[in-house]
Amino acid sequence: MNKQITPCLWFNNQAKEAATMYCSVFAQAKITSQSHIVTEIEVMEQKFVLLDGGPMFQPNPSISFYYICEEEQELDQIWSAFLKEGKVMMALEKYPWAEKYGWITDKFGVSWQLSVGKISDVGQKITPCLMFTGKQYGRVDEAIAHYSSIFKNAITDGILRYQANEQPDEEGKVKHAQIKLDGEAIMLMESAAAHDFKFTEGVSLTIYCETQEEIDYYWNKLSESGEESMCGWLKDKFNVSWQIIPTILGKIMSDPAKAGKAAKAFMSMRKLNIEQIVQASIS
């Protein structure tokens, strides 16, 4: 069950505008699919789903995207583009972990950690980064163990911990960790500093499943001690939002004759049921 974890970004009627901007800013970026409320893009082999879900949620820095630039010019171009109507989280300069690095939130609220480095050090150009703050502070070790028990072939690539002189963070807590879940890198951090953000549906992580068995597996494992929601959405025990979606749903929703009937069916579901959705779409 090798799965690419696909980030889903929540917008308020700005998904198409955001997709256009990202495709103009990032090299080798393209729109792969577009419907009334969902736009899918691909940036250097990393898929993103942009969802026009309304005003309820918006992306925040609790889940950011670590973007590696092997050339300084590429970083400078992206930084300049995002600086327009964006917000600097960490200044663009030299840090102990990178010759040049900056953390910026773009005009849509999506956070990017831009760094000059080698893609080979991580294995991919873009990596989701989860920051555990507030009530979730101190739980990164638990999260690594939990996710590693769910996704196969899990590897912990490295953990950097806070030292005794790095208050307000506690000695031994996780400053930065990198894991691989079925070969896909995920970064995790925790911070005791005061932050005005936490995990929300503004950025969720999507797993596409071929079979009902896979849906049942990921739904049951990830919702354990968490919270089930509607339409294939759930929150795990750390309040991170996930979507467990059958791959066939995209094909069904692209058929005008089936989309409405399928939507009516899955809108009433928590965990999605492939057979019931398919049957509803052809009834």
Please check whether the two domains, 6-190 and 210-282, share a CATH topology.
yes
pLDDT at 1: 43
Q: pTM for the full model?
A: 0.95
Domain boundaries 210-282, corresponding CATH code: 3.10.180.10
Burial of 174 (0-12, 13-18, 19+ CB in 10 A): buried
Could you read off the pLDDT tens digit of each residue along the chain, which spans 283 residues? Answer: 445 799 999 999 999 999 999 999 999 999 999 888 899 999 998 999 999 999 999 999 999 999 999 999 999 999 999 999 999 999 999 999 999 999 999 999 999 999 999 999 999 999 999 999 999 999 999 999 999 999 988 999 999 999 999 999 999 999 999 999 988 999 999 999 999 999 999 999 999 999 999 999 999 999 999 999 999 999 999 999 999 999 999 888 888 888 889 889 998 999 999 999 999 999 8
Q: In b/e form, how buried is each residue of 105-138, taking b as 16+ CB within 10 angstroms?
A: bbbbbbbbbbbbbeeeebebbbbbbbbbbeebbe
SS3 103: strand
Taking Cα atoms as reference points, which of 80, 172, 177, 162 lies closest to residue 128? Answer: 177
The token duo for 278 is 């398919």
CATH class, domain 6-190, is: alpha beta
pLDDT value at residue 3: 56
Distance of alpha carbon 31 from alpha carbon 232, whole angstroms: 24
Residue 45: predicted pLDDT: 87
Domain ranges of the chain: 6-190, 210-282
